Structure 1
Amino acid sequence: MSLINTTLIVDGTLWSLVAFSVATWTLILVKAIQHLRLSGQNKRYLKLFWSAKDLQAAANLGEHAVGPAARLANAGFDALHDAANTHDLEHSGDRQELLERHLRQQIHKERRSLESGLAVLASIGSTAPFVGLFGTVWGIMNAMTDISRTGSASLDVVAGPIGEALVATGVGIAVAVPAVLAFNFFTRRLKLVWADLDDFAADFINIAQRASFRIERQPAQVRADAPAATGKEAFA
């Protein structure tokens, strides 16, 4: 009965580590695609933004406004437009302060989106070795029980349980290493993206200041988070 329980526990530990490994590599793939995609989107949008003749032209980029940088710019355009046309508590106060608040809020939204999944990688990286160690300790405990029960410490009595138990530790470490490396890599990427958005927000505020914090949004302005208009609607 003890052997059966030990086998079930060690096997359960190994299958748990396999599940951790699948989750880790799935997150690595998803996060890699996410960062590659947003990097391309930001480069394309920023190239168009800085090529615009003025802030008003940049506000009318339309279907090109996709990606974190585009959403940040749109948040700024909305703040400038609403400051001139909306009169409530949310849009009250100095226009520069209103713009800075909207840009800061959008940066936090983008950061929360990019941080998704990182907590899972951190948890797997920190717990996988201990999960494997649990299986190892349990297997060794069973081997010691067999030795005391049989009165023999021969190789055929202890080799199987201990060998199986040590595999659990090895698997736990193998699962933890990619998770830790991926967490560190994507955390570094997140800091770089956040710094780039902070720099863009500062530049946006300076440009808006030169434009006296005024902008006109076209009625049919295509938004990054809305379907693109087609036909005559795009020019309404």
Structure 2
Amino acid sequence: MDLLTNPFASIEHLVIWLLIGFSVVTWGLALVKAIQFNRLKRQDRKFLAGFWAATSLDSAAEQVQGRPGAAAHLAQAGFAAIQVGEPGQPGDLTQAINHQDRLERALRQQIQRERRSLESGLAVVASIGSTSPFIGLFGTVWGIMEALKGISAAGSASLETVAGPIGAALVATGFGIAVAVPAVLVYNYFLRRLKLTAADLDDFAHDFYSLAQKSAFKLILHPGAKRASSPVHAPVKEAI
């Protein structure tokens, strides 16, 4: 039975359609991740230009509120960790924690949040790249089994009888390889971009730490000023 007229005629055909679905998922995720990384790069470049143009840490703190991007979120978390009220004013219990430790923990946790956000979807692509050849091989083995049964029933082992069914069964392996290769390339490409982005965030965190160190890890929050808060992220599901 032809694949187009009856796509669910056999296990082999189901395997091929499954691999086609994997290919659609791979290219869809590749498009989504490309948009995500490119947008993040533009946001970080714009934010860092404004941040380093600030005349002081106080003026830089006023610029980060509501700004998008991983670097902006990192700065927001850092400012939230070192902000304190006016001298002599009562503070909450968090003010009793060493501000240097608070800042280190806040920066480290925020970098991990950004990494989890950028990693979403990559595990799916990696799984497709690693399993597609085996799924295709399963379709081929099943097709060969069915072909051998047909040859046995026909009682003939001529080249015409064997070559056709065996050749058709090998199509599934070809599909598996064709799906796996782009998936592996997409995964490796975005994994490298993830590492570069994380390295840039680490560098900015070190620079931010040095700036905060000059102010004794404290940023005075004047009356009426808006307290910076750590960026709120929706829970990121761990990729399977």
1:27 is the counterpart of 2:29: yes
Aligned mate of 1:194, from 195, 198, 209: 198
Judged with a 3 Å threshold, the aligned counterparts in structure 2 of structure 1 residues 76 and 12 are, in CA distance, closer, same or farther, namely same
Point out where structure 1 has 5 or more consecutive residues left out of the alignment.
227-236
Provide the residue aligned with 1:77 in structure 2. Answer: 79
Compute the displacement of 1:156 (Å).
Answer: 3.6
Q: Deviation of residue 222 (structure 1)?
A: 9.7
| Distance apart, 1:145 and its partner CA | 1.6
Structure 2 counterparts to residues 171-210 of structure 1, below 5 A: 171-210=175-214
**TM-superposition CA deviations, 1:190-221 (whole Å, max 9, x none):** 11111110110011010011122222453287
Find the counterpart in structure 2 of residue 120 from structure 1: 124
Q: Is the 8 A contact 2:140 2:173 kept in 1?
A: yes
Q: Amino acid of the residue matched to residue 205 of structure 2?
A: A
Give yes or no for the alignment of 1:100 onto 2:107: no
Q: What residue is the counterpart of 2:3 in the other structure?
A: none
1:33-88 residue CA offsets vs partner (Å, 9 max, x unmatched): 00000011111101111110011111111567210000000000111115987433
Matched, 1:87 2:89: no
Query: TM-score of the superposition, structure 2-length normalised?
Result: 0.84
Question: Is 1:132–1:173's contact at 8 Å kept on the other side of the alignment?
Answer: yes
Percent of counterpart pairs with the same letter? 55
Contact 2:128 2:180 in 1 (8 A): yes
User: Which sits farther off after the overlay, 216-225 or 151-160?
Assistant: 216-225
Q: Structure 1 145/91 Cα, relative in aligned 2: closer, same or farther at 3 Å?
A: farther
Determine if contact 2:144/2:169 at 8 Å carries over to the other structure: yes
Confirm whether residue 219 of structure 1 aligns to residue 226 of structure 2. yes
TM-score, normalization by structure 1: 0.86
Conserved in 1, the CA contact under 8 Å of 2:115 and 2:198? yes
The correspondence for 1:53, drawn from 18, 31, 55, is 55
**Structure 1 residue ranges (4+ consecutive) displaced by more than 4 angstroms after TM superposition:** 82-86, 220-226
Cα distance between partner residues in 2 of 1:83 and 1:164: 75
One-letter amino acid of the counterpart of residue 140, structure 1: I
Contact 1:17-1:175 within 8 A present in 2 as well: yes
CA distance in structure 2 between the aligned counterparts of 1:100 and 1:175, rounded to whole angstroms: 43
CA contact (8 A) 1:124 1:176 kept: yes
The structure-2 alpha-carbon separation of the partners of 1:175 and 1:111, relative to structure 1 and needing over 3 Å to count, comes to same
Q: Deviations over 1:213-234 (max 9, x none)?
A: 22245328799769xxxxxxxx
Paired letter, 1:166: L
Tell me how far 1:167 sits from its aligned partner. Answer: 0.9
Evaluate the alpha carbon distance shift between residue 123 and residue 86 of structure 1 in structure 2; reply closer, same or farther with a 3 A threshold: farther
Q: Which amino acid in the other structure matches residue 213 of structure 2? A: Q
Offset of residue 181 of structure 1:
0.4
Q: Which residue of 2 aligns with 1:132?
A: 136
The structure carrying a bigger helix percent of its residues is: 1
Q: In 2, Cα distance between the equivalents of 1:52 and 1:94?
A: 26
- Distance in 1 of aligned mates of 2:40 and 2:103: 23
Report the secondary structure of 1:60's partner residue.
Answer: helix
RMSD of aligned alpha carbons? 2.5
Q: Which moved more, 1:206-215 or 1:174-183?
A: 206-215
Cα separation, partners in 2 of 1:31 and 1:152, compared to 1, 3 Å: same
